[in-house]
Structures are given as structure tokens and as C-alpha cells.
Amino acid sequence: MAHETPTVIARKRDRLGSRYAQRIRRDGRLPAVIYGHRTDPIHVSLDEKETLGHLRHGSHVLNVQIEGGTAETCLVKDLQFGYLGDNLIHLDLARVDLDEEVSVGVHLHFIGTPEAARKPGAIVHHAITELPVICRVRDIPEEIRVDLSKMGETLFAREIALPEGVRLDIEADDVITRIELVLDAAEGEAAAVEGSGTQPEVITERKVDEADGDKKEKKG
């Protein structure tokens, strides 16, 4: 790994279900499950503050030390969010070996301003901010730095300098960043006015001629 693997202490959960998970969350802990490598899944809880801190720093791998049990090297596989879509309520951890190849999304850190973005009305649009890469667990970078100062109109995935042992998990021609020209507010309003006033086309509505034809057939 490009950085030290953080260690978190986990407590085993004996009682499962949403009500017990809610009680755990109320105590400042985060429910999680550890699975993989053809062994039974273990339901645990982690310290919420500590785990969130590691995740915010871009850690993908955690050393989970289970109280009164073994230590497991785990990859953060999935996050589950609750009400309003931004509060973390559950963590999926997959057992991994440090030499195993995995696919993860690595945060892209953009630096510099492209020359083309200095024009009036031009903005830098990042189509991808988490780059999917394939690498060994020990080689997962915390973040990938992307220098935009030398880019033209578009930056493709193949142009990103990846660390050693890391390869792309998306097409090389996929767009990462591009320069977009934003419409002036007045132009946008003009476009909106043009489109207003018309009624949508009803695709199931029968034409008058067709309806007449049907009536004639029935009579005949």
C-alpha cells in the first residue's frame, strides 16, 4: 500500500437486525460485516468517528482487530447510506490478501488550471472524480494527482500518470475532464422561451382519419 494500513478495533455483534443496529449507532458505533475467502461472515461494529476519519483520508484497506479474536485485513467493499443519502449506516468489508488484485475507485486530486479554462464562460468539468483502477491491495494509492495545467480541451483516461503496479479499470478513451463553455444567462433564457408554450405530443392519441376508418370498417 502506498500508506500505512490503519488498524481499527471491532466488537462482535451477537444480536442482529435493524433494531439492534440502530442501538449500536446510537452508541457512536458503526455496524459492519466481514466476509469473503470462503469463511463464515462475521458481524461486527466499529468506532464510527475513527472509521469515518480513515475513509475520508482515502483508506481502502483496514486492519480489523476483533476483540478477543483474530485480526483481518479487509477491503472496504461497499458503503450503505441512510436517510437523505449521506449518513453512513453500514460498512461491507471483504477479506483480502495484500498480494491479491482488486478493483477499487481511487480519488483523483486535480491540480493546476488548464489554459483553455481561462476563456470567459469556460469551466472545467470533471466527468470522473473516482478513477476505477486494478492493482494489488498493497499498491492501492490514497489518491492520484492529475496535473491539468498542460491539458488541451479534453483529458482522457490514458493520459493520467498512474503509479507503478496500477492499471486502469475503464476504457483508455474515457473522458476524465473536459472544458465546457457555459451559456450566458440571457442566452439560456432565450432558449427556454423558444421551447415554452408548446404542448407535448401524445403518442397514444389516435389520428382523426384512423378513427373514421375504423368506424367505416365496423359498419361494413
Give the range of 12-20, 29-37, 64-72, 192-200 binding another protein by CB under 8 A. Answer: 192-200
**Largest Cα–Cα distance in the chain?**
88
What lies within 8 Å, CB to CB, of 51 at 6+ separation is 8, 30, 62, 91
Asked whether position 101 contacts another protein by CB under 8 A, the answer is no
Asked whether position 86 contacts another protein by CB under 8 A, the answer is yes
* 160 backbone φψ class: left, alpha, beta (φ>0; ψ -120 to 50): beta
Closest to 112 (Cα-Cα) out of 157, 155, 55, 48: 155
Q: Output the CA angle 98-95-58, nearest 5 degrees.
A: 70
Q: How many residues belong to the site for another protein (CB under 8 A)? A: 42
Provide the 3-class DSSP secondary structure of residue 66: strand
Closest contact distance (angstroms) between CB of 88 and another protein is 7
Closest contact distance (angstroms) between CB of 144 and another protein is 14
Q: How many Cβ atoms sit within 10 Å of the Cβ of residue 127?
A: 12
- What does the per-residue mask of binding to another protein show for 29-68, with x meaning CB under 8 A? -----------------------x--xx---x--------
Contact of 96 with 102, CB cutoff 8 Å: yes
Work out whether strand 88-95 and strand 71-81 pair parallel, antiparallel, or are unpaired: antiparallel
Site for another protein in 137-166 (CB under 8 A): none
Closest contact distance (angstroms) between CB of 220 and another protein is 31
Contact residue for another protein among 115, 143, 153, 189 (CB under 8 A): 189
Contact residue for another protein among 35, 100, 116, 126 (CB under 8 A): 126
Nearer to another protein, 104 or 137 (CB): 104
Asked whether position 120 contacts another protein by CB under 8 A, the answer is yes
Contact of 149 with 179, CB cutoff 8 Å: no
**Residues that bind another protein in the complex, under the rule CB under 8 A:** 52, 55-56, 60, 76-79, 81, 83-86, 88, 104-105, 107, 120-121, 123-126, 129-130, 180, 182-185, 188-189, 192, 195-196, 199-205
